Structure formats: structure tokens, C-alpha cells
Chain A
Amino acid sequence: MNILITSLARLLIFPGLVFAVPAAWFFLWVERKAVARMQGRIGPPFMQPFYDFIKLVGKDTPQRTGASGMLMKAWPLIAVSAAAGAVGLLPVLPASGGFQGDLILLLALLEVPSMCIIAAGFSSRSIFGEIGSAREAVLSVSYNVVFLLAIVSIAASQHTFRLDALAQLPASPLRWLGILAILVCLPAKLHLNPFSLPNAEQEIYSGPMTEYAGPELAMWELSHGLEWVAATGLVATLIAPQLTLWWVAALVFVALSFFIVLLLSVVASATARLQIDTTVRFYWQCTIIFAVLAVASALFMRFRA
């Protein structure tokens, strides 16, 4: 019973929905504001993502019929629920409970929104959507190798797939190597420059989102924001030092996530979009070195232990 209440509280309150939805809007605002400041503009007001969301919810809903129409309605909802579930799994508070293998569940849930984006682009049957989906698929095959190898190497060095056990690791060179590899993958995961290929505006309009409108688009915006919270939160929990007071842990988590969002936005506004083949080469040839190094040192540490 106690476990049930704890897990419900994690899923619904902190770091789940009640925290994650405002945090998603906040991070979307931080991203837009940081890009604006880097370009010498003032940028949108603080409540802007909230206004956008409410406005989109109030717009007309497109009439969709048939199986592909139902699928198109379903994809954004699946993406939002998966991203919210991923945020709920993050071990932010000390002794918040977890289970063996929750790291695997978190990685799977983090992957669901990008799967939904691919499927949504193809089921919209728009040429721009299909190009965007194909790019997203190629991109996710590229960065996921590095992303998963980095996380698996951190997990393998500790013989565990429990998130709270990983979050409490002492800082080691291996862990920093892994975190660095994860950070390199985050711009691709969040569709930021220089890897903003799937939703490359000026090129293929909005990619997979081209045919979406109104409340469905609002759900996509929300799922993108929740992905921000989940992905930066994963790095934040890996970086965060071990704390016993729950409110200090929560504050440190929010502050670290904020700085990661800021870092990613500054990188995004300082770079231009790469071509798809350059991106794939970047991940398969350059970044994979990090991941291979991380896995090799993890195995080495296990054999020594």
C-alpha cells in the first residue's frame, strides 16, 4: 500500500505531472528566451508557452476519418503519456523508492516520443512529414547507439539497473565520460540545432508535425516539453550529489536541469543545422569513441573488482 502511494505520488505530483507540466513550459520558455538573448533580442514573455498551449487547445480540431486518422489522433497522446511516465521515474528525491530495471523502463519511455513522431509523420501522408520522419528515424539510429552505450556503461560498472543506485554513485572519470556522451546526444534527442533535422523549418516546414493542428499540436508541444524535463532530468540526477534533505535534493535537481537547458539552448543558437549525412557521420565516427571508451573502462573496472 505504502509503495502504491509513493509511486502514485511520484507519477502524479513530484517529479510527475503536477511538477513536470509547468517545468515543461518553463524549459520551453528558457530555450526560446536563451536563443533570443543570444541573438540580441528580448524574447517571449515568461508565460508564452502556457499561452501557446491554451490557444492551441482552443482552436478547431481537424476532422480525421479512418484508421490513419485515428492513429494520427493517438500518437500525440501516447507521446505525452510516455514522456510524463519517464519524468515520473526519475529518482529525484532520496529514498523515493525504485525497482530493479527501472533504468530500462526509463530508456524505453524516453524512446517512445521519437517513435511516435516517426509514426505520426508517416501516417500524416504529407511529403514533408514523410521526409521528416525518415530523418528522425536515421537520426535516432545514430544517436541512440552512443546514448545507450553511455548509460549502459555507467550501469555496467555498478552491476545494477536501478536508477536510484546509479544516482548515488560517487563521481568517477567513467561517470563523467558517460555524462559527456549523453550530453552530446541530447541536442539530437530534443531536435535542437545543430541536429534539428526532423523539424527543419525553412526546409521541410515542420517535418512530421506539418499536418497537425489545434489540440493535437498542443499535445506535441507538451510532449516536447516533457521530453526536455525527462532528458535533462536524467543528466541532472546523474550529476547531482547525494543529498538527504528532500527539498534540497529537489532544488538541486531543478537548478541542474535549468543549467543543462541553458547550455543546450546556447549551443543551439550558436550553431547552424548540419546535413543528415554529416550528422550520421558525427555520431557514428566521432562520438562513438566516447561510448566505446566508456564501455571499455566499465568492463575494465569490473574485471579489476
Chain B
Amino acid sequence: MCYCRRRSPWLFHMNSGSCNGCDIEIIASLTPRYDAEQLGVRLEGSPRHADILCVTGPVTHNAVEAIKTVYGQVYGPKAVIAIGSCPATTNVFIDSRTLAGPLNLHIPVDVFVPGCPPRPDAIILGVAKAAEILAARGNKPAAVATEPEVVGECTNCTCCEANAKEVQA
């Protein structure tokens, strides 16, 4: 069962106010050059079918309820990937009055894939990591606090430091 979970991650892609850059990179990771289907990845249209929720964008006020609803619609065991710097740190939109981000204030995030936008290979690595977490966690409740994984290279945008101060304050 664990092995099957690891080998068959179905994604649901959710945009929470993204500029569309990361969304294009998610699609790019499914195209012939990167071909994420080799790992069993399928991009599903319905959150009910998905195992992994891929969130892009800096989480605007309007998107918060939608994200919580969709997170509830994914049946467990499930995992969440924050794709791009925006859901991780709100990126260049930090301090904007239209934002309610970052994402982990609202739902538990398992893997961060930073980058603006991240490369498709980083996204695929993130999906593989998330699938491993999913397989290891199984049907146990997601409340078990695990340190989120960070995948890919840091772009040294210093947003995380600023954001950490923000969250602490």
C-alpha cells in the first residue's frame, strides 16, 4: 500500500492569486521534456480524486476560503505542496494589504518548492518528496507536526527572513 501510494501521486492544482508563472511550470513538468507521468503523476480535474494539492500564488484574501474548502475536499491521506516563492513567503508582494499569505498560516504544508518560478525538475522532485511523505504518513492524521521539506535551490530573495519576522511579530 505504501509503495502504491508513493508510485501514484495524483495532483490537484490550485491557483491562489498566482501570476501564472508557476502554473505554466507545473504544466511544463508534464510535457515531453520532463514527463512527470513516469512517476505516475496525473493532473486531476477534481480535488476529490487528488492526493496532493499543489498551491501556487501568494494567497489573496479572496482565495483563503477557497483554499480551505478545496483542502477539505481532498480525501486523505493527502499532502500539500507550496509551489513557488509566493505561497512560501508571499515573495515580492510582501506587506500587500490584499494578501492573507503565506500559505502555512491556513493549511499544513508538507513541501516547499521555492523559486520564481521554480524549475520543472524542482517541481517534480517536490512531488516525489510529497509522495514519499504521503506514503510514510498513511492514514494517520496530518496533525503530526513534521518539518516541511524544502526542495530546489534558494534564490536568495531574503523574503523568508522578512517573513519570519512578520510571523513572529
Contact = CB atoms under 8 A, between A and B. Distances in A.
A44 interface: yes
A206 B49 contact: yes
B26 to A, nearest CB: 14
Interface residues of B, number: 24
B37 interface: yes
Contacts of B4: 50-52, 54-55, 58
B164 interface: no
Interface in B49-106: 49, 51, 75-77
Interface stretch (B17-25, B40-48, B119-127): B40-48
Contacts of A211: 46, 48
- Where chain A touches its partner, the secondary structure class is loop
Contacts of B32: 39-41
A74 B49 CA distance: 18
A66 interface: no
In the A-B complex, the 9 residue pairs with the closest CB atoms: A205-B45, A54-B4, A213-B48, A40-B32, A51-B8, A60-B75, A41-B35, A51-B4, A51-B7
A60 B46 contact: no
Contacts of A58: 1, 4-5, 139
A36 B139 contact: no
11 contacts: A32-B37, A41-B31, A41-B32, A42-B37, A43-B38, A45-B38, A48-B40, A54-B4, A58-B5, A62-B75, A211-B48
B45 A201 contact: yes
B37 A43 contact: yes
Nearest to B38: A42
Contact of A55 (B31, B37, B51): B51
Contacts of A48: 7-8, 40
Contacts of B139: 58, 60
Given A55-B51, A59-B75, A214-B75, A36 B46 contact: no
A217 B150 CA distance: 32
